[in-house]
């Protein structure tokens, strides 16, 4: 599917219960405060694991929201188990969860219902075959910031189990939370 109008990238993400949110958010805040890299805090990006990114338009946004809402009604809450700290090229620091049956299934099922009508966004990095689940703690780090951020992230006691509370629906660039749907 191609779009005549400029497309918007939308993301679908899993959110954690408040106890784990506090652990992750406090780490994100410490990193921002001690490195000066406040992208995640300034843009109000909550702790999450993105399970899909899709292209749409303002005109198709409501349809996509409705699909995600219906999808959330069929999903049961699960647990994400963070096992290590990871990074992308020493520029993005994240918590890496085990890519277990829960995460693999929810990612796969989401794509099965959305891809027939919408294109994968973010260069297809979230499609089941190549998806690398992660929870970003900081992004756009320089080398000095990365070293300090890693030191702070390593204070998180791992493994860390996070119960999923809801599914969020976002517009990317600029980041904007559009909706959240509870899981059963």
Q: In the beta sheet, which residues pair with residue 179? A: 169
Q: Write out residues in the chain with pLDDT < 70, as ranges.
A: 1-5
Q: What is the pLDDT of residue 123?
A: 87
Q: What is the pLDDT of residue 6?
A: 83
Summarised one tens digit per residue, pLDDT across range 74-127 is 999 999 999 999 999 999 999 999 999 999 999 999 999 999 999 999 989 999
Picking from 169, 81, 80, 172, the residue whose alpha carbon sits closest to that of residue 182 is 169
Q: Which residues contact 132 (CB under 8 A, 6 or more apart)?
A: 99, 125
The model carries a pTM of 0.93
DSSP letters for 79-109: EEEEEEEEEETTTEEEEEE---HHHHHHHHH
Going 48 to 181 to 66 to 39, the CA torsion angle's sign is negative
d(CA 32, CA 137): 9
């Amino acid at each position: 599917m191609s779009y005549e109008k400029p497309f918007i990238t939308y993301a679908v993400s899993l959110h954690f219960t408040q106890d784990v949110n506090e652990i992750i958010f406090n780490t994100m805040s410490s990193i921002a405060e001690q490195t000066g890299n406040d992208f995640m805090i300034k843009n109000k990006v909550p702790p999450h694991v993105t399970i899909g990114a899709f292209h749409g338009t303002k005109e198709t946004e409501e349809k996509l929201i409705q699909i995600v809402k219906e999808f959330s009604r069929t999903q049961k809450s699960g647990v994400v188990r963070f096992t290590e700290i990871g990074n992308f090229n020493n520029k993005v620091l994240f918590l890496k969860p085990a890519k277990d049956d829960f995460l693999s299934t929810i990612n796969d099922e989401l794509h099965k219902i959305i891809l027939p009508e919408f294109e994968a966004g973010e260069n297809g990095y979230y499609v089941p075959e190549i998806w690398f689940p992660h929870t970003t703690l900081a992004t756009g780090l320089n080398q000095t910031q990365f070293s300090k951020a890693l030191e702070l992230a390593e204070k998180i006691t791992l493994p860390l189990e996070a119960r999923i509370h809801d599914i969020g629906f976002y517009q990317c660039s600029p980041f904007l939370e559009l909706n959240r749907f509870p899981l059963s």
